[in-house]
Amino acid sequence: MKIKLAFLFAFLSVLISSQYSCAQKLIPPPVFQDNWTYDYDPFRIVGNLYYVGTYDLGCYLITTPQGNILINTGLVESVPMIKAHIEKLGFKFTDLKILLATHAHFDHVAGMAAIKKMTGAQLMTEEQDAAVMEDGGNSDYSFGGKGSTFPPVKPDRLLHDHDTIKLGNTRVTVLHHPGHTKGACSYLVDVKDDQRTYRVLIANMPTILDTTYPAMPTYPTVADDYAKTFDAMRKVSFDLWVASHASQFKLHSKRKPGQPYSPEVFADRPGYDKELDNLYQAYRRKFNIK
């Protein structure tokens, strides 16, 4: 069964990629990690929020009676895996109504064009990442300038700081946290289970890119934006948190595959603060801040 499933993933990945090969030649990604492609068993995080990503690429499904929201898609090759994960959890892939992203880098949005086409879902992007989505990453201030690293896709709605995305009985609040990209975002959402309501932060941690330096010609305010983001993220109030990468919130040490429903393992404010502090120290070193 595993062999058949692996073959299906490989076949669908080639099929999806081939849809764009004639219209758009993609350049190799600037960085790549093998664990971005590893499968990982999907699971319920809390209430109507689920993890449907790969071993390290955090993709999140929020379900509602009026349709579902997907945050992040991973790589083009991840699309068949995400589809299988959603269906394994008992939901219809075609019930996706809204697509969101924590930021417009290929490892989080390369599958957007395919999933949008397959489901008809609306893509909503923070305004300052819109151009990067539309040119497949070519205008990204750090990784761009050499061509597209993912299939271009046009957003249906532009988002801004503290905008609210509503679907059914769920409201998702946009928190603009720029620096890693100009339009990088975190999201706050209240979810309920049989016991209580939880405020969950889906965080875009402000990782400092190797290519980031104070005088970025296409992003002269990058240092100031990082500083504002660190300040804003320290003040966010939440009960549970997850992030764009599983490694950032220590998923694999907090939860093992097959473990029973246990949302409390993601109630880790000290871990969040420590991760932010480590990134802040990296920011100070990169920008020579004493």
Could you report the per-residue pLDDT of 139-150, keeping only the tens digit for each?
Answer: 999 999 999 999
Residues 6+ apart with CB under 8 A from 99: 69, 70, 73, 112, 115, 116, 121, 122, 123, 124
Cα–Cα separations (whole angstroms), residue 75 to 43, 62, 132, 238:
20, 20, 16, 29
Residue ranges in the chain modelled with pLDDT below 50: 1-23
pLDDT of residue 248: 98
Question: d(Cα 116, Cα 97) in Å, to the nearest integer?
Answer: 9
What mean pLDDT is reported for the chain?
92
- At 204, which helix (H) or strand (E)? none
Detail the DSSP E strand segments found in the chain. Answer: 43-46, 49-51, 60-64, 67-71, 96-100, 122-126, 157-159, 164-167, 170-176, 185-192, 197-203, 240-243
Q: Are 154 and 169 in contact (CB under 8 A)?
A: no
Where b means 16+ CB within 10 Å and e means fewer, 202-225 reads bbbbbbbbeebeeeeeebeebbeb
Crossing angle for the helix pair 269-286 and 222-234, to the nearest 10 degrees: 160
Q: Are 175 and 47 in contact (CB under 8 A)?
A: no
pLDDT of residue 14: 42
Nearest to 134 by CA among 118, 158, 160: 158
Domain architecture of the chain: domains with CATH: 33-286 (3.60.15.10)
Q: Encoding tokens for residue 116?
A: 């949008």
pLDDT of residue 29: 85
Q: Are 123 and 115 in contact (CB under 8 A)?
A: no
pLDDT of residue 11: 39
What's the pTM?
0.92
pLDDT of residue 213: 77
Q: Encoding tokens for residue 185?
A: 């975002």
Token look-up 């990296």 returns: 282
Residues 6+ apart with CB under 8 A from 60: 45, 49, 50, 51, 52, 53, 70, 71, 72, 202, 242
pLDDT of residue 30: 84
Question: d(Cα 163, Cα 186) in Å, to the nearest integer?
Answer: 12
pLDDT of residue 24: 62
Nearest to 170 by CA among 143, 202, 138, 147: 202
pLDDT of residue 216: 85
| Residues 231-252: tens digit of each pLDDT | 999 999 999 999 999 999 999 9
pLDDT of residue 290: 82
Question: d(Cα 257, Cα 269) in Å, to the nearest integer?
Answer: 23
Cα–Cα separations (whole angstroms), residue 10 to 4, 6, 73:
10, 6, 17
Phi and psi at residue 188, to the nearest 5°: -110, 135
